[in-house]
Structure 1
Amino acid sequence: MFLKFIELKLLSREYIRVINSLTEQAEKEGSFPKLTTKDVEAKLPSAVLNQAIRDAKSVFKKTKKEKKRPILRKPTYYINNQNYSIGHASIAFPIIVDNKVKKTIFPALLTERDQQFLQNATCGLMRIVEKSGKWFAQVSLEIPTETTTGEQVIGIDLGLKVPAVAVTSEGKTRFFGNGRENKYMKRKFRSERKGLGKKKKLRAIRKLDHKEQRWMKDKDHKVSRQIVNFAIKNQVSVIHLEKLTNIRKTTRTSRKNEKNVHTWSFYRLAQFIEYKAKMAGIKVEYVNPAYTSQKCPSCSTLNKAIDRKYSCPCGFHTHRDKVGAMNIIHAPVIGGHSQSA
């Protein structure tokens, strides 16, 4: 069993070598050549080599756009859905053993949630990677969903001090995430990087960057899951999210929040909400965010909030971010129709 994993490690390195070699050749020639597996010398199963050629062509297309050839370094191994199979506690795919291509069975730990997804999904490309001495199989899935019926709409306002505020069309409100904790952790990572920078420990800085990204990603996953669960509980059929194009250029923020707004991934959180909502059969629509934090939901007058409090001369007052979420419910949908008031 141990020898199979050693062979898999060598094959994953070979996979990356082939891609880098082909993209370098294409860069010299100015175009990607027409290739088959017979034209490429590589110690890879033909089905996997075919995928490597396709990946190299895709990387070269990006090279032409960005005018710089990326050199891939992290070993990986891709298998298309016709050449692997997933069992109850195993995965089988082709590797080379004793110079012969053999579909080899590897033990795998599949959770009940994994099994549930696989029962109803169409499997796509599978990616094999090694992380911290453990091997992972990442499979793309196409999952059919049934759209939730009903008229409930939820508006979600994303921010720094409050990561997300959700308001349903019936007025039910919930705040998600901990903005203070987020800012504290980012300050902590920033301070540690500064100290490592003075000591010129570049490798340690890179490791710390990866640790920060994993922490932020985990927070986004948890907040997005809580939002979708809130939507399911309230029988929501449509989620409205702000189209946050150029948010870093347009957001007005204090000096102490300036670094946070330039490093926090609003887009990633929105993407996590979207894909989790779609899996639950909830439609996601993006709306124009103009004036959503200033417009009074009661009389439509524009007012500026003072700190986190919003007050209007008409008598309406509430939390500033709640105002944004309430207005997002009825804001114009980009490329579609807005919800009626």
Structure 2
Amino acid sequence: MSQTITVKVKLLPTKEQANILQEMSRAYISTINMLVSEMVAEKKSTKKSSKDISAPLPSAVKNQAIKDAKSVFKKAKKSKFATVPVLKKPFCIWNNQNYSFDFSHISMPIMMDRKATKTPIRALLIDKENRNFDLLKHKLGTLRITQKSGKWIAQISVTIPTIEGPGLKVMGVDLGLKVPAVAVTDDEKAHFFGNGRQNKYKKRKFRSVRKALGKKKKWNAIRKLDDKEQRWMKDQDHKVSRAIVNFAKDNKVSVIRLEQLANIRRTARTSRKNEKNLHTWSFYRLSQFIEYKAGLEGIKVEHVNPAYTSQTCPKCSEKNKAQDRKYKCKCGFEKHRDLVGAMNIRYAPVVGGNSQSA
């Protein structure tokens, strides 16, 4: 058993290396778009090899571009060419046989003086809990390099072995804004995770500073602030997901159930004042963090249908709407609304139907 995740590493290329990476990234997406256009016109997959591509790219990267173009063509063909994706954001990909990583440099073939030369580019591994360092000790997959807000980022695919956990104890987890996460085990042990008030305060503060900078037209400062906010949000998700998985381990849970997150921004209940927070918080990322950290501990994650999980009474199955954070039922059952959601998630229908017995 294994799972694949993406680890981001900051790159510190020299000025010359940065210019080469920019040129290669533009050539990479241009090559893909050109090949896709040709395949769509002919309504069949290309038979071209790296020798047929004249772009300023190493042959290994050309081969990867051909592979990616075929993948895009398959998607277009599946939609009967109703939509043909056109790549715009520059990036470049190397497969795992064409680069190496020694925790201080990433070495890959780049175009130096019109020749493909394997070149080390300095990499910076900075994270508070050495999460990336530990993850990058596992089997490495493809390397994707892109530029974001003027900074170069290496996205490395990592395959992590997982273990099978004992028992069939189930825990439901409800994700939200006022309470970032609530977990309830099938023997009724419950825990609240994160600080919703603190999160909303921080986001209001970021918005206020961003607005003030916008009036002064300080666009670079706004971009830096956006990056700072994203780093802070990601760190919160790491902390909450780690606490949830630790709680599951302590209670010998073998299956964590989460709501399926499709359309959450349209279906989630929220007030007008919370709407901005809802549309900027990454529920999907938190769900991903829980899933990969749980997998490392041998805990399976299942996604369930979220319909009525916060309205159905766990005791008598009657549907009631909660008043603010309190849920009351005619049968006498009373609980915090998010606790009700987590309790119902434990036994809600699993998407795809491949559920563990509760």
Q: Distance between the aligned counterparts of 1:138 and 1:166, measured in 2?
A: 31
Verify: 1:262 aligned to 2:290, yes or no.
no
Q: Residues 72 and 85 of structure 2 are in contact (CA less than 8 Å); yes or no, is this contact kept in structure 1?
A: no
Q: Where does 1:1-341 land on structure 2 (aligned, <5 Å)?
A: 5-23=14-32, 25-26=34-35, 29=38, 30-31=40-41, 34-56=47-69, 58=71, 69-73=86-90, 76-87=91-102, 91-97=106-112, 100-105=115-120, 117=135, 121-128=138-145, 137-202=154-219, 204-336=221-353
Q: Secondary structure at the match of 1:150?
A: coil
Return the letter of the residue paired with 2:198.
Answer: E
Q: Residues 36 and 70 of structure 2 are in contact (CA less than 8 Å); yes or no, is this contact kept in structure 1?
A: no
Q: Distance between the aligned counterparts of 2:231 and 2:83, measured in 1?
A: 27
Q: Distance between the aligned counterparts of 1:307 and 1:236, measured in 2?
A: 30
Under a length normalisation based on structure 1, what TM-score does the superposition of the two structures give? 0.82
Q: What is the root-mean-square deviation of aligned Cα atoms in Å? A: 3.4
Report sequence identity in percent: 61
User: Structure 2 vs 1, CA of residues 70 and 107 (structure 1 numbering), >3 Å: closer, same or farther?
Assistant: closer
Aligned-residue offset at 1:48: 2.5
Q: Residues 32 and 66 of structure 2 are in contact (CA less than 8 Å); yes or no, is this contact kept in structure 1?
A: no
Q: Distance between the aligned counterparts of 1:200 and 1:318, measured in 2?
A: 48
Greater relative CO (CA pairs within 8 A, separation 6+): 2
Q: Secondary structure at the match of 2:86?
A: coil
1:46-84 CA-partner distances (Å, limit 9, x unpaired) = 2123223434555677786655634224xx543211123
Aligned twin of 2:5: none
Return the letter of the residue paired with 1:296.
Answer: C
User: Structure 2 vs 1, CA of residues 130 and 267 (structure 1 numbering), >3 Å: closer, same or farther?
Assistant: closer
Aligned-residue offset at 1:113: 6.0
Under a length normalisation based on structure 2, what TM-score does the superposition of the two structures give? 0.78
Aligned-residue offset at 1:285: 0.9
Return the letter of the residue paired with 2:95.
Answer: N
Return the letter of the residue paired with 1:79.
Answer: W
User: Structure 2 vs 1, CA of residues 98 and 28 (structure 1 numbering), >3 Å: closer, same or farther?
Assistant: closer
Q: Which moved more, 1:206-215 or 1:217-226?
A: 206-215
Unaligned residue ranges in structure 1 (runs of 5+): none
Q: Secondary structure at the match of 2:298?
A: coil
Q: Secondary structure at the match of 2:308?
A: coil
Return the letter of the residue paired with 1:10.
Answer: N
User: Structure 2 vs 1, CA of residues 131 and 331 (structure 1 numbering), >3 Å: closer, same or farther?
Assistant: closer
Unaligned residue ranges in structure 2 (runs of 5+): 1-12
Q: Distance between the aligned counterparts of 1:81 and 1:177, measured in 2?
A: 37
Q: Secondary structure at the match of 1:151?
A: coil
Aligned-residue offset at 1:169: 1.4
